[in-house]
Amino acid sequence: MANYTKNYNLKNPAASDFVNVDDMNGNFSIIDQEMKKIAEVANGVSSQLSEKANIIQELVDSKGKADTLDGKHASDFALTNHNHTKTQITDFPTSLPANGGNADTVDGHHESHFVRSRDYGGIDVSLTTYPYPYMTDVSGLVTMPDTGWWHVIYVPHSNYGAGYGCQIAVSLNTENKTFFRSSLGTTWNPWNLVYHNGNSKPVAIQPSAPGDTSSLWVY
């Protein structure tokens, strides 16, 4: 009894079978079809290799200088010294804005959204809901540690309408005093004095553990 090959299903007659021309013709037809497929693949590979070889040869001949960049020739690009005269610019503005060209916003933010290097006057430092950070100078205010002159730095909460901001006040006099306070909601907490080695005598706290020779100095 005949059997068939694994890869191409060719018919193998058994030793006891008579030779059948149809079986032979069928096998040859299968072989012919498969050889044709192999030849087509080989021709395709050969064509691709030939194309790559031509590209390599062109690079060698041009010493590595590409003829195009993304399909564009050098003539498609402007030269580094390329320029236009004013008359050649079709959409050149005929006039500047009334403010001389100053932008009204930066990234959608107005000038009032930014901290100024100095902000003199016009700020009520007693407000706990001021929306923007500021640095300013004030005097004669009963809401400050005293009615003298003070540098004031203010940082608002992200939800400034609810308060919870904070202030730092540094005196302009020779006493070198610094105070800070925060607001509990919309109510300022009392001013707190920052102690340092210029406004208080140091006190040594003796160690509590026997044999501990270290000590902590506070002001």
Two tokens at 55?
Answer: 């590209």
pTM for this entry: 0.42
- Which contacts of 19-22 are long-range, i.e. CB under 8 A and separated by 24 or more positions? none
CA proximity to 202, closest of 217, 183, 181, 213: 217
Two tokens at 147?
Answer: 């009615």
What pLDDT score was predicted for residue 209? 52
What pLDDT score was predicted for residue 133? 87
State the Cα–Cα distance between residues 97 and 110, nearest whole angstrom. Answer: 17
How would you class 86 by CB atoms within 10 Å of its CB: exposed for 0-12, middle for 13-18, buried for 19 or more? exposed
- Mean pLDDT check: name the lowest of 55-59, 77-81, 190-194, 209-213: 209-213
What pLDDT score was predicted for residue 109? 76
- What percent of the chain has a predicted confidence (pLDDT) above 70? 79
